[in-house]
Amino acid sequence: MKVKINISSEIVTKPILAESIVETGVLLNVSQAHFDRSHGEVVADVLEEHFEKIRHALVSRGAVVTRLDTPIELNEDECVDCGACISVCPTKVFSMDKDYSLLVDTSKCIQCGTCVEMCPHNALALINNKHA
């Protein structure tokens, strides 16, 4: 399962990810991360059976953990099959079918949002993800 871990400016300089991993023994596969002095945000994969354990460790240190249950969502009424999303997707979620219509493999989505920013028709969205 994918999770997003938000770390506020008050604790961004503390090693809460490392401490949580060491404490629980739960490994995270980080697919993206952004840190600066104002905040931190990490998107990672964690096995479903280990989620509660790592969530508790992170939340007890002040992080906000969000389950990313819904991968990229395509609004077919807005999509014009232009393919702008194809070249920017790091995991090849998008491709063209033989008839030049857009194919979407949501199982590959790491929810980075790059395609959302690139879509000229606002046909892509990351929604329905909730705090755990």
How many angstroms separate the CA atoms of 106 and 51, rounded? 21
The CATH class of the 73-131 domain is alpha beta
pLDDT digits (tens, 9 = 90+) for 101-123: 999 998 888 888 889 999 999 99
As a CATH number, domain 2-67 is 3.30.70.260
pLDDT at 53: 97
Q: Is the pTM here over 0.85, yes or no?
A: no
Quick one: DSSP state of residue 105?
Answer: -
Q: What percent of the chain has pLDDT over 70?
A: 96
Query: What residue spans in the chain does CATH classification 3.30.70.20 cover?
Result: 73-131
pLDDT digits (tens, 9 = 90+) for 29-75: 998 898 888 889 998 999 999 999 999 999 999 999 988 877 889 99
How many angstroms separate the CA atoms of 95 and 118, rounded? 15
Q: Cα–chain-centroid distance for residue 11? A: 21
- Asked if residue 132 has pLDDT above 90, the reply is no
Query: What residue spans in the chain does CATH classification 3.30.70.260 cover?
Result: 2-67
- Asked if residue 129 has pLDDT above 80, the reply is no
